[in-house]
Amino acid sequence: MVRRDTLWKALIEELVEDFLYFFFPTYMDQIDLRRGVVFLDKDLERIMPEADTRRRHADKLFKVWLNDGEERWFLVHVEVQGYPDAYFAFRMFQYYYRILDRYNKPVTAIALYTDTNRAYHATAYKTSFLGTELIYRFQSFILADKTPEDLRASGNPFGLALETAYRALDPRLKEDNQLMISKLELMRHLLSRGLDKAKIRQLYNFINMYVSFQNSENKLKFENEVRKITKSREPMGLEEAILKEVLEQGIEQGVERKAHTVVLRAHEKGLSMVDIAEIAGLTTEEVASIIADYEADKGTSA
């Protein structure tokens, strides 16, 4: 079973622009998305407070550029499982001051609470001593305060993932038949949105894995039902269907250009460099080089 913190980390990275539009809509006119988003996982590991294996949370650190050329860093903390933690707000402050001290970069932070334990939904860290006071406030998003209608009305693909997490709070979904109904309804809505295949693939994985069926046979039943919805003729999941299409299109171009074509087709469909390298039989460095040349050519011809 894939852990939920892993799913959240992957989702934020794959849908980062949608994430920004969902949580920072009033600031998007200041961000230059043409320069992309750079994830700083290694930097986060260097400054991260000491790990606690009991915790189930996802942390991401990434940077964007503003229209004036300045860098801005985003710290995202997703709390996956509510538990008594009197030091949570302090840990959020630790992240902030360690990033500021080590890198001297402005940081905005947000905590996403996906549980219902409101007693531990902190929004600030406060400390005072003999006339000296410090208050560190950070943004928070409490999933339980929303409704599925609110999340869907956003029109944002990230809202559909949050709706999936919201539904997971419903105790009725512990029953496989109710879970099946819920997942299939989410998939029908996802496929009606007209999203590109890369986003469909990521959201399908999230919906499929966020809550597991008690009976493993129901997982196969769900995948079969999804194939009926997508009218797929092959007995394969969405990811396998995408890979098959990529390979077939590459072969049509001839043996000599097969690897090059496969890389670009897969890149356009949003597959990761690791997956592309495995498909094309290349190293990730070779894949990165092909994609870089392709992007450079696009920039020149634009």
Give the 3-state secondary structure of the chain. CCCHHHHHHHHHHHCHHHHHHHHCHHHHHHECHHHCCEECHHHHHHHCCCCCCCCCEEEEEEEEEECCCCEEEEEEEEECCCCCCCCHHHHHHHHHHHHHHHHCCCEEEEEEECCCCHHHCCCEEEEEECCEEEEEECEEEEHHHCCHHHHHHCCCHHHHHHHHHHHCCCHHHHCHHHHHHHHHHHHHHHHCCCCCHHHHHHHHHHHHHHCCCCCHHHHHHHHHHHHHHHCCCCCCCHHHHHHHHHHHHHHHCCCCCHHHHHHHHHHHCCCCHHHHHHHHCCCHHHHHHHHHHHHHHHHHHC
Kind of pairing between the strands at 107-113 and 139-142: parallel
Query: pTM for the whole thing?
Result: 0.71
Q: Are residues 142 and 116 in the same domain?
A: yes
Q: Are residues 225 and 244 in the same domain?
A: no
Q: What is the pLDDT of residue 107?
A: 87
Last residue of a domain, one of 211, 230, 249: 230
Q: Are residues 283 and 159 in the same domain?
A: no
Last residue of a domain, one of 230, 246, 278: 230
Beta bridge pairs of residue 78: 58, 112
**Residue 143, token pair as written in the block:** 């999933």
CB 45 within 8 A of CB 62: no
Residue with tokens 């990230």: 158
Q: What is the pLDDT of residue 138?
A: 92
Q: Are residues 218 and 89 in the same domain?
A: yes
Q: Distance (Å, rounded) from C-alpha 302 to C-alpha 290?
A: 18
Kind of pairing between the strands at 132-137 and 124-129: antiparallel
pLDDT per residue, tens digit, the chain (302 aa), is 567 788 888 888 889 999 999 999 999 999 999 988 888 888 888 887 565 544 556 788 898 999 998 888 888 877 665 566 778 889 889 888 998 888 888 888 888 888 887 777 889 999 999 999 999 999 999 988 999 899 998 889 999 999 999 998 888 888 888 999 999 999 889 888 888 888 888 898 888 888 888 888 888 888 888 888 777 544 444 455 445 554 454 444 444 356 777 778 777 766 777 667 766 667 777 777 888 877 777 666 55
Sign of the CA dihedral 20, 26, 32, 38?
negative
Residue 143: alpha-carbon gap to chain centroid: 16
Q: Are residues 119 and 259 in the same domain?
A: no
Q: Are residues 222 and 268 in the same domain?
A: no
Q: Give the C-alpha distances (Å, rounded to integers) separating 266 from 173, 181, 198.
A: 35, 32, 10
Q: What is the pLDDT of residue 238?
A: 47
Last residue of a domain, one of 200, 230, 260: 230
pLDDT tens profile 171-224: 888 888 899 999 999 988 988 888 888 888 889 888 888 888 888 888 888 888
Quote the Cα angle for 91-93-98, to 5°.
95
Domain limits at 291? 238-301
Q: What is the pLDDT of residue 53?
A: 43
Number of structural domains, the chain? 2
Q: What is the pLDDT of residue 172?
A: 83
Q: What is the pLDDT of residue 258?
A: 60
Q: Are residues 211 and 255 in the same domain?
A: no
Q: What is the pLDDT of residue 57?
A: 66
Q: Are residues 226 and 243 in the same domain?
A: no
**Torsion angle, CA of 24/28/29/32, rounded to 10 degrees?**
150
Q: Are residues 192 and 113 in the same domain?
A: yes
Q: Which of 51, 50, 75, 47 is nearest to 61 (CA)?
A: 75
Q: Are residues 61 and 190 in the same domain?
A: yes
Q: Are residues 268 and 212 in the same domain?
A: no
Beta bridge pairs of residue 217: none
Q: Are residues 216 and 244 in the same domain?
A: no
pLDDT tens profile 54-84: 455 678 889 899 999 888 888 887 766 556 6
